[in-house]
Amino acid sequence: MNIALGIEYSGSNYCGWQRQSHSPSVQQSLEVVLSKIANHSVSVFCAGRTDTGVHATAQVVSFQLNNERPLRAWELGANSQLPDDICVRWAKPVPDEFHARHSAFARRYRYVIQNTRYCSAILSGKVTWYRTPLNHELMHQGAQALIGENNFSSFQASSCQSPTPFRRIDEISVNRYNEFVIIDVRANAFLHHMVRNIVGCLVEVGFQRQPVEFVQQVLAVQDRTAAPMTAKPDGLYLVQVAYPEKYQIPQLPLGPLTLPQSFL
């Protein structure tokens, strides 16, 4: 059987999604529990390999199962053994050709900025904080230059192993919800650190240290050294992965924030 799971996690205590020998990862934590339930070694594939400190509300994983198990084993059973910062939100059998990464045609990330005079202790590690007021309208205007298929070399980490810097951004928006500035971007796929590098560029526009045209200029140069510093991972969330309808992958409702409404 081929099984798909929807996973939510806080990335604060992990070196990222991918298994590493030197530090705990989300993948390793999940595989240990799933292997116990399956009674055989399980290797999972994910829709998007998040970095150190990056969170997910809608990560999708798939794996092959040799022994039949009821779906509640992957939901209730797994959640009873997983760390408190990782949980399974749904489980379903999928066709053999389904692959969490290769079958996806779009991903959506959200970056959450708390824009206040003080840094919240409660939200530490869950949002990125900037004291200086941000002009979200200018940020939104600048971001529109990124829509379409482009060479995103200026926003690609030097460690990125992708064979091509071309990606297609379908949507990108910047909105303010009281003290929170939210950057929402949907693309067919992302380069390593691409979202965080885009955020770093947009923040310069939001601080009005650079003009709206700065984003277009950085994109056109196709040189990472032309872009500002990479934004912190704290505020970044994988919030949606899109698949062809034939797979019937659950799409959970998206609110304006990946944070509880009580924080608005």
Give yes or no for a contact between 100 and 174, defined as CB atoms under 8 angstroms apart: no
Residues 123 and 229 in one domain: yes
**Last residue of some domain: 103, 123, 158?**
103
Residues 206 and 161 in one domain: yes
**Last residue of some domain: 48, 72, 103?**
103
Report residue 165's pLDDT band, with 50, 70 and 90 as the boundaries. very high
Residues 99 and 112 in one domain: no
Between vectors from CA 130 to CA 125 and to CA 134, what angle results, nearest 5°? 135
Residues 216 and 152 in one domain: yes
Residues 191 and 215 in one domain: yes
Burial class of residue 2, CB neighbours in 10 A (0-12, 13-18, 19+): middle
CA-to-CA distance for 31 and 44, rounded, in angstroms? 7
Tell me, yes or no, whether 129 lies in a domain. Answer: yes
Residues 18 and 60 in one domain: yes
CB atoms within 10 A of CB 146: 22
> Domain of 65?
2-103
Q: At a CB cut-off of 8 Å and minimum separation 6, what does 58 contact?
A: 6, 8, 89, 238, 239, 240, 241, 252
Residues 231 and 113 in one domain: yes
CA-to-CA distance for 226 and 113, rounded, in angstroms? 23
Q: Is the pTM of this model over 0.85?
A: yes
Distances (CA, A) of 106 to 103, 168, 244: 9, 9, 10
The CATH number of residue 88's host domain is: 3.30.70.580
Tell me, yes or no, whether 263 lies in a domain. Answer: no
What is the average pLDDT score of the chain? Answer: 93
Residues 172 and 97 in one domain: no
Q: Which pLDDT does position 253 carry in this prediction? A: 73
Tell me, yes or no, whether 254 lies in a domain. Answer: no
Report, as residue numbers or ranges, the catalytic residues: 51
pLDDT tens string 223-254: 999 999 999 999 999 999 999 999 999 987 76
Report residue 255's pLDDT band, with 50, 70 and 90 as the boundaries. low
pLDDT tens string 166-200: 999 999 999 999 899 999 999 999 999 999 999 99
Q: Specify the higher pLDDT residue, 125 or 259.
A: 125
Residue 109 counted as an annotated binding residue: yes
Helix (H) or strand (E) holding 196: helix 194-206
pLDDT at 13 over 70: yes
The strand pairing partners of 176, in sequence order, are 181
> How many domains, the chain?
2
pLDDT at 263 over 50: no
Residues 126 and 207 in one domain: yes
Residues 121 and 142 in one domain: yes
Tell me, yes or no, whether 251 lies in a domain. Answer: no
Burial class of residue 147, CB neighbours in 10 A (0-12, 13-18, 19+): middle
Kindly write down the DSSP assignment for every residue of 69-121, as one continuous string: --HHIIIIIHHTTS-TTEEEEEEEEE-TT--TTTT--EEEEEEEEE-SSS--S
Tell me, yes or no, whether 210 lies in a domain. Answer: yes
Report residue 258's pLDDT band, with 50, 70 and 90 as the boundaries. very low
